[in-house]
Amino acid sequence: MCSTCGCGQGEKRVEDLHHDHAHDHPHAHAHEHDGDDGHWHEHPHTHADGTTHAHPHGHDHAHADDHHHGHEPGAARLVTIERDILAKNDAIAAENRHALQAAKTLSLNLVSSPGSGKTALLVETLKRIGGEYPASVIEGDQETTADADRIRATGAPAIQINTGKGCHLDADMVRTGMSRLGLPSNGILFIENVGNLVCPAGFDLGEAHKVVIVSVTEGEDKPLKYSGMFAASSLMVVTKTDLLPHLDFDVDRLIDNARRINPTIGVLKLSAKSGDGMDHWMHWLETARALRLATD
Amino acid sequence: MHEVSLANALIELVREQAVAAKASRVTRLVLEIGTLSHVDAHALRFAVDVAARGGPAEGAAVDILEPEGTAYCLDCETSVAIAARGALCPHCGGAKLLVQGGDEMRLKEMEVV
């Protein structure tokens, strides 16, 4: 079946005059017959070489007709749709993006495995922002308000979204979260996704960037195993680097693997605990925020 | 597990499209799930079967087309076919490949009565 125009085997499309691309035409034609008449049809086509022609051909139908084809009610027909399955999510994400743009809010979707240190990084980040500009957090977890409580303890506004059995946030949940929390105008909205390196990759929330967080207690081959997430992220933050002296973890190999999946991904290395590398992260945030403020 | 979310989104889309097509029943769904998408076709098929229950697409056959991955190699500057993300360029062995296709998740067409 041709994905450009929707014609193809079984397709009951009558208007067929604007075909100017190459493909096979095994068409099925559906006709309504009232009796055993012989009759003529013409089917004009334009082929890849630009020639248009028609094939007049006669059919002799000797049906003793008590059945129908094609457009008759009750008959099967093929309908061309060609829509993304997540079109609805993507449409809501576009609305979110528009609202965030209008409020000059930078939004970041933080994604990682469970236990990578996302919340610890956020807590340390919010302390360092220290009210210099507005920052708030949407927390996604299957259960509990523990993470939102940790964030609120820093003084930053936060709202918890419990996804229950769901393994990721979707755009509609974030829309609800945004409307209840209010947007930090001229500031940053952090969206901490459910700890899961698979599913959140496919669900656009309306964020400016996905930021994938990997701790040094995980494997260097994570980017290869969970490639979708690394492909979708603008930045990889390597956390818990204070533990490196105790581990056989090759940071360069992790970075090579990430760049194999996504040649343009940015990389930062830090420890929220020791503070090493935090300055670079804060600088990245301020630069991304400045870009948001400077552009429509 | 997000195959369930996908299946629900799909069935919602199918419902809308069935109304638009003035169809009483949907007998077949043709999906395009790229080999580089993060979806397991087997799990999706099962989830669609469950999600369709009680609606116009209950019991519909599900055909899944799995287009191959395509990427552009930044080293040798050609478009190549790849089996997985992170694959090396089959021409030059380069590791800097930008995925161009094969990650689609689409409802292509449906057969209705």
Q: Which residues in chain B touch residue A71, judged by CB atoms under 8 angstroms apart?
A: none
Domain spanning B2-112: which CATH class is it, in words? alpha beta
User: Which residues of chain B make contact with A265, given a CB cutoff of 8 A?
Assistant: none
- Which residues in chain B are contacts of A81 at CB distance < 8 A? 13, 17, 107-110
Tokens 């890849």 correspond to A48
Place of tokens 């397709």: A11
Average pLDDT, chain A: 82
Q: Which residues contact A61 (CB under 8 A, 6 or more apart)?
A: A31, A33, A36, A37, A38, A39
Tell me the count of A-B CB pairs closer than 8 A. 111
CA distances from A154 to A124, A126, A177, A243 (A): 9, 7, 19, 25
Q: How far is B10 from chain A (nearest CA, A)?
A: 5
If you search the block for the tokens 């209840």, which residue do you land on? Answer: A180
For chain A, which residues score pLDDT lower than 50?
1-44, 46, 50-52, 54-71
What pLDDT was estimated at residue A73?
Answer: 56
Can you give the residue ranges of every domain in chain A?
1-82, 87-294
Distance (Å, whole) CA A120 – CA A240: 10
* Residues in chain B with pLDDT values less than 70: 1
Q: pTM of the entire structure?
A: 0.77
Mutate to test the interface with B, among A4, A7, A81 (most CBs of B within 10 A): A81
- Establish if A278 touches chain B: CB-CB under 8 angstroms: no
Q: What pLDDT does A1 receive?
A: 30
For A246, the token pair is 């105790």
**A87-294 adopts what CATH topology?**
Rossmann fold (3.40.50)
Map tokens 């609202």 to a residue: A99
Query: Angle, nearest 10°, between helix axes A118-129 and A278-294?
Result: 70
B6 and B105 in contact (C-beta within 8 Å)?
yes
How many alpha carbons lie under 13 Å from residue A78 in its C-beta half-sphere?
21
Nearest CB among A1, A231, A260 relative to B95 is that of A260
Residue A11: phi, psi to the nearest 5? -75, 130
- Separation CA A257–CA B89 (nearest Å): 15
Cβ–Cβ < 8 Å for A236, B36 = no
Please name the member of A77, A259, A260 whose beta carbon is closest to the beta carbon of B112. A77
- pLDDT of A296 reads 77
The minimum CA-CA distance between B42 and chain A, rounded to whole Å, is: 16
Quick: pLDDT tens for A235-277: 999 999 999 999 999 999 999 999 999 999 999 999 999 999 9
ipTM value? 0.88
Partners of A59 in the β-ladder: A39
Give pLDDT, residue B73: 94
Residue B64 in tokens: 């899944």
**Are residues B9 and A86, on separate chains, in Cβ contact within 8 Å?**
yes
Per the CB < 8 A criterion, the answer to whether A62 and A146 are in contact is no
| pLDDT (0 to 100) of residue A295 | 85
The pLDDT assigned to A280 comes to 98
